[in-house]
Amino acid sequence: MSFAPRLSRFTENDSGDYWPGFVDALATLLLVIVFLLSIFVAGQFALSRALTGRDEQLASLNEQLASLTDELALAEGENTRLEQEMTTLRATLSDVRAERDELSDQLVVVLGQIEDVQSRLILEEEITASQMDQLTALNLQMQALRDQLSELNGLLEAAEAREADLESQIFNLGERLNAALASRAAELARYRSDFFGRLQEILGNRSGVSIVGDRFVFETDVLFASGSAALSNDGRESLRPIADAIIQLTDEIPDDIEWIIRIDGHTDPRPIRTTYPSNWHLSAARAISVVNWFEDLGVPPEHLVAAGFGEHQPIAEGTSEAAYARNRRIELKLTSR
């Protein structure tokens, strides 16, 4: 009996008008969606600006590299010309020195003759007309030889000065060439750093993959079955994104920079008991399998090289299974050709 009045009042107050609350909820939801879309558009705009700036920097860098390449070609041509001129000048210097030495020998002979004649005249105490003529001729010959020797010494000093100047030019040109080569090496190092950064993003914290110095190291248990050089399906899929990164790198590095991805195969020291006659053969075959797979995925073969090291370059000491597993590996290294 006591609940009937209360239910009656609740029924009277509930008019069924839910529309304003529903409209408020929809408006709030719409504002949230508009806010999220605004954040997404702003993010896309910022990302577009960043990518545009990177493309502009890359274009500027390519222009600088092209200019540096032209300057390097001119410097190499100038260096070749100077070296040829230096070779010719050195041959001329050799001839001048030989001629000077010959004249010096002749001068010594003439001086000896004069001294001999003078000595005889002193002993005889009489000078005849013929002896005077002989002495005069010898003096004239000696003076002519001295004049020629002085002229040759002047030519020799000028040639030696020119040689020193050419050596200075060659030295300065060598410094410019070294600076240009160092600049190219620095460019390759920058691309290597970018490439390693991408590989780190691709591989993340995967087990069996590590960085040793300037190389990416894959334990071969991730890629191959024991004693085999055939890539497993999981190994092929693991290498696919790396091949994509190498292809992207090929598009970014200028054509005048000579570079390669070197794939090195390594084994543990235990003798193998498979169709391969030695660990040398197995390590090389595994490296070649990786190269062939990269080539199948579209990596230009001129930027790939395979090498086998057998068990002779270990990175882990000891005879434990863990050490053996670390030494069984494939290494990737970006280097110059």
Whether residues 79 and 176 fall in one domain: yes
Residue 210 lies in a domain: yes
pLDDT at residue 186, as a whole number: 56
- The confidence band for 216, taking pLDDT boundaries of 50, 70 and 90, is confident
Are residue 278 and residue 310 in the same domain, yes or no?
A: yes
Q: Which long-range contacts (CB under 8 A, 24 or more apart) does 186-190 make?
A: 187/61, 187/65, 187/257, 188/253, 188/257, 188/259, 188/334, 188/336
Kindly report which listed range (12-16, 46-50, 135-139, 212-216) carries the lowest average pLDDT score. 12-16
313 and 216 in a common domain: yes
Tally of domains within the chain: 2
Q: What are phi and psi of 321, to 5 degrees?
A: -65, -35
Q: What's the rounded Cα separation, in Å, for the pair 231 and 122? A: 106
Give the H/E segment covering residue 269. none
- Asked if residues 266 and 327 have their Cβ atoms less than 8 Å apart, the reply is yes
Give the pLDDT of residue 3. 42
- At 298-321, the pLDDT tens digits run 999 998 999 999 999 998 888 899
Same domain, 213 and 329: yes
pLDDT digits (tens, 9 = 90+) for 80-130: 777 777 777 777 777 777 777 777 777 677 667 666 766 665 555 555 666
Residue owning tokens 């609350």: 21
CA geometry: angle 143, 146, 151, nearest 5 deg: 130
Q: Which of 157, 185, 213 is the last residue of a domain?
A: 185
CATH number of 129's domain: 1.10.287
Percent of the chain whose pLDDT exceeds 70: 67
The three-class DSSP label of residue 205 is coil
Q: Using CA atoms, how far apart are residues 254 and 60, in angstroms rounded to an integer?
A: 12
Computed over every residue of the chain, the mean pLDDT equals: 75
117 shares its domain with 230: no
3-state secondary structure of 272: coil
Residue that is last in its domain, among 150, 185, 220: 185
82 in a structural domain: yes
Based on the fold, state whether residues 72 and 175 are members of the same structural domain: yes
Shared domain for 291 and 238, answered yes or no, is yes
Alpha carbon distance 266, 328 (integer Å): 5
Is residue 320 included in any domain, yes or no?
A: yes
Where residue 243 sits, what CATH number does that domain have?
3.30.1330.60
Asked if 168 and 275 sit in the same domain, the reply is: no
Q: How do residues 13-51 score in pLDDT, each as one tens digit?
A: 555 566 777 777 888 888 888 888 888 888 888 777 767
- Kindly state whether residues 151 and 260 are assigned to the same domain: no
Residue 59 placed within a domain? no
Residue 179: C-alpha distances to residues 78, 105, 165, 184, 335 (Å):
16, 49, 21, 9, 19
Instruction: Compute CA distances 305 → 245, 247, 249, 300, 315, whole Å.
Output: 17, 15, 16, 11, 21
Both tokens assigned to 144? 């002519």
- The model's confidence at residue 57, banded by pLDDT at 50, 70 and 90, is low
Q: Please tell me whether residues 230 and 156 are part of one structural domain.
A: no
Helices (H), the chain: 3-13, 19-124, 129-203, 233-252, 279-296, 321-327
Residue 144 lies in a domain: yes
Domain range for residue 226?
205-336
Cα 72 from chain centroid (whole Å)? 15
The per-residue pLDDT for range 247-273, each reduced to its tens digit, is 887 777 777 677 888 999 999 999 887
Domain annotation covers residue 230: yes
Distance of CA 175 to the CA centre of its chain: 17
The verdict on 211 and 329 lying in the same domain is yes
**Is residue 51 in some structural domain?**
no
Q: Residue 211: in which H helix or E strand, if any?
A: strand 209-212
- Residue 176 sits in the same domain as residue 92: yes
Angle at the Cα of 180 from the Cα atoms of 178 and 184, rounded to 5 degrees: 115
Q: How far apart are CA 267 and CA 314, in angstroms?
A: 8
In-domain check, residue 3: no
Domain endpoint, select from 122, 153, 185: 185
